[in-house]
């Protein structure tokens, strides 16, 4: 039975990854310091004998008993709100945490998987974004703490491959949504759905012309799984290429929730808010046979049901 360590295992994506790995017959050890993750996301797994949760800060020395075959490094605050409130933790977990997780991979002769991000492209000047684009990042902007830390993490990951021959995998994750996102995480999906369900104004930042492309969480995890079971290293973009403006998105959420909320405009929270973002997934399709399957409408209905349940609790 393969044994995997998932850092950030109590987070939104980390917990969905734990589910998938257990389903595939893995034994899973989830590590999390719970600054943005929650054990609620793992409550359904705590009785599973193949699963273990360990409260742990992965910026500290990492010790895991016994054999480890895979290390999935997902730990990191990832919401733009966190860029304001947790800039140092973001830099530490992506720099020190990546170093520790790579060291563990080397010591255990395990495959290392890095959850990187479309933010490595910054405010992109080419559209859609292909993996060979080097990006347009402001290192000293508010987003720089995340963008540069993930760029460092990618460089460190490839340094371990080149210097120590660690088997590594890198995905660049584009906007992803689904159950287990935090309602208060400040990102557009929980914000719009929460506001629509509560009948509060739906806050579009800027003029709402900026675009994003949203992938449902289980589709994304399927891309992860295909990458780790392939011969590829990446980086590979995983995301849904169906693009929309934030104003269109606000209207879609309002309609799907049957909400009477009004749509209001507020100033952008960060001046370097990317104006457009859409993955080119040619590589994922041709190298991994992956493409997203869940439509935005189906994914949003499931997410809205999840948030409704949390609001009425």
Tokens of 192: 């719009």
The residue (of 62 and 189) whose beta carbon lies closer to ligand UDP is 189
Q: Minimum distance from CB of 113 to ligand UDP (Å)?
A: 21
Q: Which residues bind ligand UDP (CB under 6 A)?
A: 80, 175, 187-188, 191, 203-205, 210, 212, 246, 268, 273
Q: Is residue 146 flagged as an active site residue? A: yes
196, containing H or E segment: helix 188-198
- Write down the least CB distance from residue 117 to ligand UDP, Å: 8
201 alpha-carbon distance from chain centroid: 27
Q: Closest distance between ligand UDP and the C-beta of residue 249, in Å? A: 8
Nearer to ligand UDP, 164 or 275 (CB): 275
Which residue of the set 55, 63, 121, 146 is catalytic? 146
For ligand UDP, give the closer residue by CB, 232 or 273: 273
**What's the CA gap between 117 and 37, in Å, rounded?**
18
Which pair of tokens denotes residue 94?
């992506």
How do 263-266 and 243-245 pair as beta strands?
unpaired
Q: How far is the CB of 110 from ligand UDP (least distance, A)?
A: 30
Phi-psi region of 122 (alpha: psi -120 to 50; beta: other; left: phi over 0): left
User: Rounded to the nearest 5 degrees, what angle is found at the Cα of 104, between the Cα atoms of 101 and 108?
Assistant: 145
Minimum Å gap between C-beta 265 and ligand UDP is 9
Nearer to ligand UDP, 191 or 261 (CB): 191
Tokens 């509560």 -> residue: 198
DSSP notation for 29-67: EEEE--SS--GGGGGGGTT-TTEEEEE--TTSPP---S-
Q: Which CB atom, from 46 or from 264, has the smaller least distance to ligand UDP?
A: 264
Q: Using an 8 Å Cβ cutoff, are 154 and 170 in contact?
A: yes
Catalytic annotation, residues: 146
């Amino acid at each position: 039975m393969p044994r995997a360590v998932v850092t950030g295992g109590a987070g939104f994506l980390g917990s969905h990854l734990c589910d998938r790995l257990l389903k595939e017959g893995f034994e899973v050890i989830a590590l999390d310091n719970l600054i943005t993750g929650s054990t609620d996301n793992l409550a359904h797994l705590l009785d599973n004998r193949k699963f273990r949760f360990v409260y742990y800060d992965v910026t500290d020395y990492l010790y895991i008993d016994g054999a480890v075959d895979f290390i999935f490094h997902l730990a990191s605050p990832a919401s733009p709100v966190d860029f304001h409130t947790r800039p140092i933790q973001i830099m530490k977990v992506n720099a020190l945490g990546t170093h520790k997780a790579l060291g563990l991979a080397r010591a255990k002769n395990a495959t290392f998987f890095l959850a990187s991000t479309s933010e490595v492209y910054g405010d992109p000047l080419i559209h859609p974004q292909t993996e060979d684009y080097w990006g347009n990042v402001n290192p000293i902007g508010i987003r720089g703490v995340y963008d540069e830390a993930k760029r460092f993490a990618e460089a460190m990951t490839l340094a371990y491959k080149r210097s120590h021959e660690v088997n590594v995998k890198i995905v660049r994750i584009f906007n992803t949504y689904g159950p287990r996102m935090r309602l208060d995480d400040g990102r557009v999906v929980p914000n719009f759905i929460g506001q629509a369900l509560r009948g509060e104004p739906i806050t579009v930042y800027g003029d709402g012309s900026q675009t994003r492309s949203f992938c449902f969480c289980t589709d994304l995890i399927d891309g992860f799984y295909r990458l780790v079971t392939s011969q590829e290293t990446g980086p590979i973009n995983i995301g849904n290429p169906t693009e929309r403006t934030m104003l269109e998105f606000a209207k879609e959420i309002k309609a799907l929730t049957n909400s009477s909320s009004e749509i209001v405009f507020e100033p952008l929270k960060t001046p370097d808010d990317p104006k457009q973002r859409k993955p080119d997934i040619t590589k994922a399709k041709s190298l991994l046979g992956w493409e997203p399957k869940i439509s935005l409408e189906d994914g949003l209905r499931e997410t809205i049901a999840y948030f409704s349940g949390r609001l009425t609790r």
